[in-house]
Amino acid sequence: MTTLTVTPMTQPLGAEISGIDLGKANGETIDRLQDLLSQHLVLLFRDQTLSDEQLVTVSGLFGKLDVPAPNPFGEPFHKGHPEINVISNIVSDGKPAGNLGAGEAVWHADMTYKETPPRAAILYALQVPDAGGNTYFADMYQAYEALPDDLKSEVEGKLAIHDASHNSAGIKRKGYAEITDVRETPGARHPLVRIDPTTGRKALFLGRRPRSYIPGLSVADSDRLLDRLWAHIDNPNFYMCHEWRVGDALMWSNQEVLHRRDSFDADAKRLMHRTQIRHFHSDQAKSSAA
Ligand code: OGA
Ligand code: MN
């Protein structure tokens, strides 16, 4: 078996894993990485050289992959591998090569507008700007545990709507109308408190702030509670910052971690390939055995 070195980050979450070529990872290594992901929530692998094929293969060893939303023309961003989501500001022949442009991407977790959001994602850096475009990851277990008592009781038993109509760069998705009343926001409703099915540990589950709404409250009360929660989580005690290098592969646990990205110079080029793992094979095996 590969000898992995695990170096926890000197930040509130995350670990760097070295001594591994992800393109050649086998089943035993994948099990180990899954345990490490539960423990650290974000795993960084530096100096990887992954072909698209290898990225899809290693991601598929963890579990079933989700296919990302298509480009504005209704086509996959990556024609050869539709499971790959392209995150890029590059425009060629008038067509965006990927999602999210060069602006800020606000705090969010991926695809939480679905009933079952992806379990994890892997983002692999192919081209990075000299400055900017850092990505931040916030631990929603620690954020929940640090809530003041009044907020802890206020979030209990409440749901929030997770907006399906806009992406994290604030761009409206194809086929959705502009939202004028948050009570009509389309998207899945999830409990504000997520309970890990294995450990019973509680995490805040917020998705994204714009157009979110807590059913059953007046819009004003919903906004007040959501604003307090979002002010609470945006705190360096709960988040880490990643400065990208080409060859970095970064994996995160999507249901317990929020991420956001800084803007960068629109003339610089940034190109990342992402896969999203719907669920882990081992979680499926456990739930079908139960
Ligand atoms: C994503 C995302 C942030 C980044 O891939 O889901 O939000 O750093 N990307 O580009
Ligand atoms: Mn994202």
Q: What is the pLDDT of residue 3?
A: 87
Q: pLDDT digit string (tens) for 116-142?
A: 999 999 999 999 999 999 999 999 999
Decide if 195 contacts 165 (C-beta within 8 A): no
Ligand nearest the Cα atom of residue 108:
2
Q: Residue 220 contacts by C-beta under 8 Å, 6 or more apart in sequence?
A: none
In the chain, the number of structural domains is 1
258 lines ligand 1 (CB under 6 A): no
270 CA closest ligand 1 atom index: 10
What does the pLDDT read at residue 146? 98
Q: Which residues contact 152 (CB under 8 A, 6 or more apart)?
A: 144
Q: Which residues contact 64 (CB under 8 A, 6 or more apart)?
A: 277, 278, 279, 281, 284
| Contacts of 123 by beta carbon, 8 Å cutoff, 6+ apart | 87, 135, 249, 250, 251, 252, 272, 273, 274
Mean pLDDT per block of 10 residues along the chain (290 residues) reads 88 97 94 97 98 98 92 86 97 91 96 95 98 98 98 98 92 90 97 95 97 98 98 98 98 98 98 97 73
| pLDDT tens track for 195-224 | 999 999 999 999 999 999 999 999 999 999
What angle (nearest 5°) sits at the alpha carbon of residue 143, between those of residues 141 and 147? 120
**Ligand 1 atom having least distance to the Cα of 242:** 8
Look at residue 31 in the predicted model and tell me its pLDDT.
Answer: 95
pLDDT of residue 290: 53
CB environment 19-42: b (16+ within 10 A), e (fewer): ebebeebeeebbebbbebbeebbb
How do residues 7-18 score in pLDDT, each as one tens digit?
999 999 999 999
**Residue 274 alpha carbon, nearest atom of ligand 1:** 5
In whole angstroms, what is the distance from residue 203 CA to residue 196 CA? 8
> Strand pairing partners for 122?
251, 275
Residue 211 near ligand 1, beta carbon < 6 Å: no
The domain containing residue 177 runs over which residues?
5-289
pLDDT at 75: 87
Here the CATH number for the domain that contains residue 250 is 3.60.130.10
**Across 198-246, where does the E strand assignment appear?**
202-204, 239-242
For position 66, what pLDDT does the model report?
Answer: 93
